Structure 1
Amino acid sequence: MEKQISITWIKSTIGYPQGQRKTIKSLGFKRLNQTITHTDTPSIRGMIFKVNHLLKIN
């Protein structure tokens, strides 16, 4: 079974660059305080690393 990673979007993207907003959307978030579970892959880890100041890893 593949390892899963659970992340929560905790801070708004207002005032942050457009690239970071797109990264949040590409992770699948639609609203603040939403929690999503992804398969733990290098591409997902890279996206989380780019916006880790906006997320909480559970």
Structure 2
Amino acid sequence: MTKQIKITLVKGVAHATDRQKENVRSLGLHKIGQSVLREDTPVYRGMADKVRHLVNVEEAD
């Protein structure tokens, strides 16, 4: 079984750059407070790192 991470959108994207908005949407996030589970791969870690001021990332059990 692969490890997963839980990514939660904690701030809005109103004043974010277009690239940051695209990263948030690519992660599957639409509303503040929404969480998604993604595989713990370098791709998803990198996307979350680019918008780390907008999201919280934690290990999922």
TM-score (norm 1): 0.94
- 1:5-55 deviations in whole A, cap 9, x for unaligned? 001100011111000000000000121110110000010010000000000
CA distance in 2, matches of 1:36, 1:4: 10
Aligned position for 1:2: 2
- The Cα RMSD (Å) is 0.7
CA distance in 1, matches of 2:43, 2:57: 16
1:36 maps to 2:36: yes
Show structure 2 runs of 5+ residues with no match: none
User: Between Structure 1 and Structure 2, how many residues are aligned?
Assistant: 58
Share of identical aligned residues, percent? 38
Q: Could you say what secondary structure the match of 2:15 adopts?
A: coil
